[in-house]
Amino acid sequence: MSDAPAERGHGFDRHMLEALVCPVTKAQLRYDAAAQELISRPAHLAFPIRNGIPIMLVDEAREID
C-alpha cells in the first residue's frame, strides 16, 4: 500500500488529471497544488478540489484572469 497523500484521501490523484477536461471547453486542465484547483485557461475558470475530489461544476468554479 502506498503512502501517497492522494491514496490516503488527503490530496488529488494527478493521474486523474489525464482523464479530466474542462466541462465548458473540453480543454486540458492544469493542476494548481497550492490552491487545490484545476485551472481551465480557455474558459478562465478554476475548479476547486475538495477532500481530493475535483468539483467540475461551473457554478462552483471561480473566474480567473
What are the structural domains, with CATH classification, of the chain?
5-63 (2.20.25.10)
- Rounded to whole angstroms, how far apart are CA atoms 1 and 21? 29
pLDDT at residue number 3: 40
Residue range 51-64: mean pLDDT, rounded: 96
Q: What is the DSSP letter of 49?
A: E
Q: Is 12 exposed, middle or buried (0-12, 13-18, 19+ CB in 10 A)?
A: buried
pTM: 0.80
Work out whether strand 30-32 and strand 53-54 pair parallel, antiparallel, or are unpaired. unpaired
Beta bridge pairs of residue 24: none
pLDDT tens digits for range 1-50:
444 444 334 567 778 888 999 999 999 999 999 999 999 999 999 999 99
- Cβ neighbors of 42 (< 8 A, separation 6 or more) are 22, 24, 25, 27
